[in-house]
Structure 1
């Protein structure tokens, strides 16, 4: 198990290094000059040259990458070109919205998908299976931004149960959770549909194994066999989807954050791109990539916990 952990840790470190190179290179090669954007089209050449020198834009690309990476390793994410404030507090403030939103959406998705997937597998080929998978297909087909607007119309405008948008901060936890509930549902329903389909397919495949037939021959019902024997062995593809979903929910909620006016990380990246604030884009995207790689590492550990063969290997 220790060798497995060491090997995965080395892979995670190498992935982070490669990701930092790609992120820095892609952002730097995007057309446009941040200094020209900040000063406007009527800026004097001398002023423009002074600002470029101050921002370090005239340095060679490898030198700028080394300086940026060295500062990142020391916890210094730089200073925003637009807001003239350190980037690290900006990212931390936005993560206070995006991270709880992603966790809440994932919890809701799992809570919906597990019973639906188990029910569909237990009712394979019957009416219950068809209804569950039909609902899953509908959930996958619905765009989450359209679903978000529908939720606002029903639960915020007509019923007035939940706020339509905005985020009051965590000084009032109950109000904060209420403001995150509708966007979390809008994000969770399509992901729950995907997860339910994967779980159902994995369970159906597992139910054809010899040890499942042996358990049935000993007198266990189909439902008991599903819960006691098939579910754990069907979890590996489900864990893969869960890791991918959390990464998507953390990094891909830009549209939902804009629909609900949430000051999250995705919205900050979108604003930084439009403002050509490269240091914010680079640092925020690197944080998201690091989160994705960390989640992948945790999923690998979950594989080892679920499948003892990985630990022995």
Structure 2
């Protein structure tokens, strides 16, 4: 059945993996499983850190924000992705596509910037422990979160508006399973060098500048750890930073490869699989990474499970 007959001129057709229906079936199952893991894991971190008074610190304040961000990010993407993977109808309205584009770009940028803020928190905790709670006071933490969201919103408005203003000459076939900026640029019918350069420039601001700040923070952290005479203190510092550094390495490695490489260097489906990785796999890994390497979080989750168990017993009675 010709999908063009069922879409207006303003609709987009998300091709996804439509040339491989069996792969779509497998991916839909994988995406559903990882989405459930993301929902359960990040929700558990939020509630566990809120219920345990020992975790009412700047570090866990930022971790709760990261978990909330991951929940928003995946929920804004996965329902449309599953619709695309499950059925023959691959269309999405123009308005739906625009909303997807702005929201996804804003949330993705926010995660990059938030990880930079978290690295500053770790730098302060390890390099200036005596002044940590004074420096990282609740007012500053809130200001940092507002700044992160403000920069992300501004950059997404600029990038997405530039992309949507590109003439498409009737092209409405997006070789992707969601409305993503690189796929939108590819269907433009004019030279997109200016837009690509703008994407690259803002990419440096939103992706590489936070990464540079993270590397600087960890440079000072490494120096501070090496100066520690206590092996126990060194292990504690490494464990504190290990989870964050793991998440940074996975996320930034994927995003840099995805957005800051030459336009035609990726294979046809490579960009789609990379998108699957950083929108589905990484948000589901974050709770596992932070939980497995963090004794305080493990204890908080045990308390949460105990409360949930007791509540279930009471409901049964």
Q: Is the structural similarity TM-score above 0.5?
A: no
TM-score scaled by structure 2?
0.30
Q: Which protein is bigger by CA-based radius of gyration? A: 1
